[in-house]
Amino acid sequence: MTGARGKTIVLWSIVWFNLIALSLPTIIILGASFTSGDIVRFPPDGLSLKWYARLWLLDDFKDAFLRTLYVSVICTIVSIPAGTLAALALTRYRIRFRTAIQVYLLLPFTIPLVVSGLGMMIVFGEVRILGQLWPVGIGLCCINLPFMMWAVSATVNALDNNLENAAANCGAPPLQAFLTVTLPAVMPGVITGALLMFILAFNEFLVSLFLTDARIVTLPVSIYNSIRSVITPDLAAVSVVYIVIALFAVWLLDRLVGLELFLKSK
Amino acid sequence: MRKFDNVPKINRRQFLTGTAAVVGSALVCPGLVFADQKKPKEIIVRAWGGAWGDALKAGVADGFTAATGINVRMDFTEDNEIKPKIWAAVDQGRIPPIHVNWDTTTNATISALRGVTVDLSDLSNLKGLLPLAKPIGLDGYPLVNTYAYVYVCAYRPEAFPDGPPKSWNVLIDPRFKGRVALYDDGIGFNPIAVLVGGGKLEDIPDHMEPGYEFYRKLKKNEPLLGEDADFTTWFQNGEIDVACTISVNARAAKEKGISVAWTVPEEGCKVDTDGLWVPKGLPPNEEYWAKQFVNFALTRDAQKKWCSMLGLPPVYPGIEPPADLVGDISYPTKPEDFKKLIRIPSKVLVENQPKWFAKFSEIFQG
Amino acid sequence: MSSSDTPSFQYPLSWRILDRAESVAGLWPGRWSSLTGYLFLVPALLLVFVLVIGLVYIFDYSLHELDLSTYRLKDAFSLVNYQAALKSVTYRIVVLRSLGASAIVTLITMVLAFPYAYVMVRTRSSFTRKFLLISLFLPFFIGQVVRAYGWLIILGKEGLLNTFITSLGLPPVKLIYNYPAVILGLVQYMLPFAVLLLAPAVTSISEDIELASEGLGANWVQTFRHVVLPLARPGLIGAGVVVFTLTLTDFAMPEILGGGTTDFIANSIYDGFFQISNPGLGAALSMILVTLGSVIVTVVFFLAGTGTLVSTEGTP
């Protein structure tokens, strides 16, 4: 087992175990969504698209889906400038107390989500905006902002300082250098970050649970509520919507920046 | 009285034109006397899931929608969880998250005492209801009770070949380890636990220790803890043999062809009521239609359909029980029916039930 | 360039817009240019500040006792909530359960994730690499609730596994609503995080060093132990800390797969606020969780360095 063959066998067995654990829930949900029976069981009672048809007719589902989309778009739109500029500031500009600011900006990751969610519920309640939809998007932006900053800094760090200097030496005013040299150079990071922000907001559950109510319930929360009452196959069909969106996001990410980007050492 | 200072002064001329407008609109559409009755697109009713939600939909909501054109959306947020959310909304002057709360009378009374409920005394259908409909210890109708129910001992007959369980001690019988079930806050079993643990009715609420001791024994028997719909699912899947649950959930499994029965063990069963209430802070037109929903739920037709689907005795008098529940212990109607059941005074429940819940979760989370 | 001799000529629109923008930006005085960086930070600082205010509110809540006659927090300051939380046996068990789960999940996840990251980085086949990346990103982009639902279908009484077990003539097994189910759900949830944090660390290890080690007669196990893992240490610490803290503060998996009897701290906080309507107690538990997490992370960083999480580079 200590030979090269042993290495392959050991490593690949673990990899295959991972692959199964990672994909089994997805595959099972796909399978369950096509059942023609009224409860989820194995083997399915037969194949049909009836749960998808039912979903299509469900106004609650459509409303929740649109609301989730709305919230995710707000989260992404706010986080693109906020995260990009912050990442640039921290990597390209002379900033005092840099470490302190970095630690501060990592607070969304260090404060537990349940605490962030409750805190925002209280704050939004105090300023009377709890119960509206747009603050949910802001809230999701607050908790995931470091992802945006991380994605941009990763590309900024790879950016050659001399490029901007060269632009300046050629007489480009600061804004022009920024818009024509810096921004295009960090664009892959911005795109990656924006995609991450969108997809994380689209899936976010716990903070949404605190910030939404029945009037403005979003999809992850309504799935959670349904799991807690009765598990029917229409839930599987809803979940498939998520799987399809995730597939699309993975494809898009790969097309735009290449998944291999995530393997690069910093 | 400060809040009246803000009322703008109305001069006589404005008053007259205003009156004329109201009278005029009342003539045009006789059903609508006030301008604030504009129909909302939908109203949101907090409800319990499973058989409960189905019954509310078929018995009340569908009829209400047919009569008014207003959709009814059900929100299955848990009853304890919606409570602090409504309180916060009313405290902060925001619009509450729901229009009508279908609630346990105890929780509803707590909310009423906090002053977040709208008075329902002017509903036309309150007249002639059984005395059970009137909440105890409160002025007017900050909530209205809609039916009574019993937390029965539901069981799978196959697991009890020698006949129904005679005592609640069956819950700690090691033969049923991992196959007994309770509500996840212990509701319905709190007073019973004291009795089966060796205490007396007079011990409630001051000496609950026998009940807590019983809980500790019960915890070793690994009970499943859930909400209404869970019991139905568990019986359907054959995951439990015995449960302390409202008869509705056992009956729902039975109606799906599962063999389930229920009984009142020697210690008795807790009987209680549920009700409907409307939170303060809704826009006037939405509040109006929320109250109309409650009023609709109190009509004979709605009460008959809703409660017979649930299998529970309604507050509307003279409705016959469903055929399968005639003489059933879970459908108390006559005074002697209530003798075998335990009714804890509303005041005791309001003051203590939250503490019992906390203690229950402390013991079972430990 | 006067417009009279070449009336049709104009600079490209983008140039003109840029010039205009430049003149607006020129209003920003040159001597303030050292402030530009700070200006860039403002939106992010404000967004994070929302969380800080929230934390302050929760800290304030935690210092007020619940008045059971009105269900409002009393005005007076008191430490009753902290006393209640620290004295309670239940909460001690919940805290220990969460800590235990964090340790177990971190250990299992790292053991599973490292080989995955290693194979993914080292494989010569770009197809394999892509396949492994997609298999990783797909669940990463599907939220906890949906994945927990998938596990419910697999592990449930009439789920996939039990159907298989009963088809062999064996009695069904209770696979769900218990501690192992929560651990399984969490490990699966954490795997993509761990692999994505480990992969750059593996990339940074030169393959030549491994070859040298093996050239000197070490077998792959020895090479792993003495060369690869020590070199990947920063990545391992970073990934370990993330997995540990995410598990410690998780809500969804214990809530959905735990069946109400395997609560973690987050679930107790939620119940404090909503189930028993005692925001003071819930807030005290929140502060305890924040403190616990911070202390653990600080201790790890103190003992083992910050790993890859806090970058010390990047000074221009």
Residue with tokens 């088809």: C167
Q: Is B272 helix (H, G, I), strand (E, B) or coil?
A: strand
CB within 8 Å of A32: residues ≥ 6 apart: A40, A44, A233, A236, C153
Percentage of the residues of chain B whose pLDDT score is greater than 90? 70
| More confident of the two residues C72 and B154 | B154
pLDDT, residue A22, reads: 96
pLDDT, residue B36, reads: 53
pLDDT, residue A203, reads: 96
What does the alpha-carbon distance between residue B337 and residue B333 come to, in Å, rounded to a whole number? 6
Q: Inter-chain contact A90–C293, Cβ cutoff 8 Å?
A: no
What does the alpha-carbon distance between residue B84 and residue B216 come to, in Å, rounded to a whole number? 29
**C316, pLDDT greater than 70:** no
What does the alpha-carbon distance between residue C279 and residue C265 come to, in Å, rounded to a whole number? 15
CB within 8 Å of C168: residues ≥ 6 apart: none
**Nearest CA of chain C to the CA of B215: how many Å?**
14
- Assign C8 a pLDDT band (cuts: 50, 70, 90): low
Tell me the fold of C80-304.
MetI-like fold (1.10.3720)
Per-residue pLDDT tens for A1-12?
Answer: 678 889 999 999
What residue segments make up the domains of chain C, in order of their start?
80-304
Q: Inter-chain contact B77–A228, Cβ cutoff 8 Å?
A: no
pLDDT, residue C37, reads: 87
Nearest chain C residue to B80 by CA: give it: C275
Q: Inter-chain contact C263–B365, Cβ cutoff 8 Å?
A: yes
pLDDT, residue B5, reads: 37
Task: From B260, B285, B314, B234, select the one nearest B36 (Cα to Cα).
Answer: B285
Measured between beta carbons, the chain C residues lying within 8 angstroms of B184 are 260
Q: Is B121 helix (H, G, I), strand (E, B) or coil?
A: coil
- Strand-pairing partners, residue B152, are B245
Q: Is B238 helix (H, G, I), strand (E, B) or coil?
A: coil
- Residue at B78: amino acid letter: E
What does the alpha-carbon distance between residue A88 and residue B156 come to, in Å, rounded to a whole number? 66
Nearest chain C residue to B230 by CA: give it: C259
Measured between beta carbons, the chain A residues lying within 8 angstroms of B99 are none
Tell me the fold of A56-263.
MetI-like fold (1.10.3720)
Q: In this structure, are residues C299 and A74 in contact, taking their beta carbons and an 8 Å threshold?
A: no
What residue segments make up the domains of chain A, in order of their start?
56-263
Strands B144-155 and B224-226: unpaired
CB within 8 Å of B309: residues ≥ 6 apart: B51, B54, B55, B58, B59
Q: Given a contact as 3+ CB pairs under 8 Å, which chains touch B?
A: A, C
What residue segments make up the domains of chain B, in order of their start?
149-271+343-365
Per-residue pLDDT tens for C73-122?
Answer: 999 999 999 999 999 888 999 999 999 999 999 999 999 999 999 999 99
Q: Is B11 helix (H, G, I), strand (E, B) or coil?
A: coil
ipTM of the complex as predicted: 0.92
**C311, pLDDT greater than 80:** no
C48 → closest Cβ in A78, A92, A108 = A108
Per-residue pLDDT tens for A192-226?
Answer: 999 999 999 999 999 999 999 989 999 999 899 88
- Assign C310 a pLDDT band (cuts: 50, 70, 90): low
What does the alpha-carbon distance between residue B77 and residue A209 come to, in Å, rounded to a whole number? 11
DSSP string for residues in A1-36: --SHHHHHHHHHHHHHHHHHHHHHHHHHHHHHHTB-
Tokens matching residue B44: 């949101």
DSSP category for residue A37: S
Per-residue pLDDT tens for A103-162?
Answer: 999 999 999 999 999 999 999 999 999 999 999 999 999 999 999 999 998 887 766 667
What does the alpha-carbon distance between residue B243 and residue B154 come to, in Å, rounded to a whole number? 5
- Where would I find the H helices in A34-160? 50-57, 59-92, 98-105, 107-110, 113-126, 134-158
Q: Inter-chain contact C115–A175, Cβ cutoff 8 Å?
A: no
Per-residue pLDDT tens for C96-110?
Answer: 999 999 999 999 999
Domain B149-271+343-365: assigned CATH number: 3.40.190.10
**C178-187 in b/e burial notation, b at 16+ Cβ within 10 A?**
bbebbbbbbb
- Assign B15 a pLDDT band (cuts: 50, 70, 90): very low
- Residue A120 phi/psi, 5-degree rounding, is -70, -35
B239 → closest Cβ in C71, C157, C274 = C157
**Nearest CA of chain A to the CA of C5: how many Å?**
27
Element (DSSP H or E) covering residue C215: helix C207-215
**A56, pLDDT greater than 60:** yes
Q: Is C116 helix (H, G, I), strand (E, B) or coil?
A: helix
CB within 8 Å of B132: residues ≥ 6 apart: B145, B148, B273, B315
Per-residue pLDDT tens for B124-133?
Answer: 999 999 999 9
- Residue at A39: amino acid letter: I
Mean pLDDT of A181-197: 89
Inform me whether the C-beta atom of residue B80 falls under 8 Å from chain C C-beta atoms.
Answer: yes
Residues B153, B157, B161, CA angle at the centre, nearest 5°? 115
Measured between beta carbons, the chain B residues lying within 8 angstroms of C178 are none
| More confident of the two residues A176 and B244 | B244
Measured between beta carbons, the chain A residues lying within 8 angstroms of C145 are 203, 205, 220, 223-224, 227
For chain C, the average pLDDT equals 89
Mean pLDDT of C57-62: 97
pLDDT, residue C308, reads: 60
Nearest chain A residue to C259 by CA: give it: A228
For chain A, the average pLDDT equals 89
What does the alpha-carbon distance between residue A161 and residue A91 come to, in Å, rounded to a whole number? 10
A239 → closest Cβ in C111, C121, C146 = C146
What does the alpha-carbon distance between residue C245 and residue B84 come to, in Å, rounded to a whole number? 29
Inform me whether the C-beta atom of residue C38 falls under 8 Å from chain A C-beta atoms.
Answer: yes
Q: Inter-chain contact A116–C297, Cβ cutoff 8 Å?
A: no
Q: Inter-chain contact C93–B361, Cβ cutoff 8 Å?
A: no
A214 → closest Cβ in B44, B94, B229 = B44
